[in-house]
Amino acid sequence: MIETPDITRPDKALIEALRDVGSATAAGELYRLGIRQPHLMGLTTWHPGKTLVGPALTLQWMPRREDMSANHEYADPEMQLHRHVMYHTQPGDVIVVDARGDMGSGVFGEMMLTYFLGKGGIGCVIDGCVRDWPHVSKLDVGLWMRGVTPNHGWQNHIMPFAVNTPVACAGVLVMPGDIIIADDDGAIVVPVKFAHDIAKKSGEKNEWEEFTRMKLSQGGELRKYYPLTAEAQAEYDAWKAVQKR
133 & 184 share domain: yes
203 & 107 share domain: no
**Cα gap 125→129, rounded to integer Å:** 10
Residue 6 lies in a domain: no
Cα within 13 Å of Cα(63), Cβ side: 0
Residue 2 lies in a domain: no
- Helical pair 192-217 and 230-243, crossing angle rounded to 10 deg: 100
Q: What is the pLDDT of residue 75?
A: 58
129 & 180 share domain: yes
- List the domain range (segments joined by +) for residue 222: 196-243
User: What pTM did the predictor assign?
Assistant: 0.90
178 & 201 share domain: no
**Predicted confidence band of residue 72 (pLDDT cuts 50, 70, 90):** low
Q: Which amino acid is at 199?
A: A
Q: For residue 61, what is the enclosing H or E element?
A: strand 52-63
124 & 153 share domain: yes
pLDDT mean over 196-204? 88
Residue 3 lies in a domain: no
The SS3 assignment for 65 reads coil
201-233 confidence digits (pLDDT tens): 877 888 888 999 999 999 999 999 999 999 999
105 & 219 share domain: no
Q: For residue 59, what is the enclosing H or E element?
A: strand 52-63
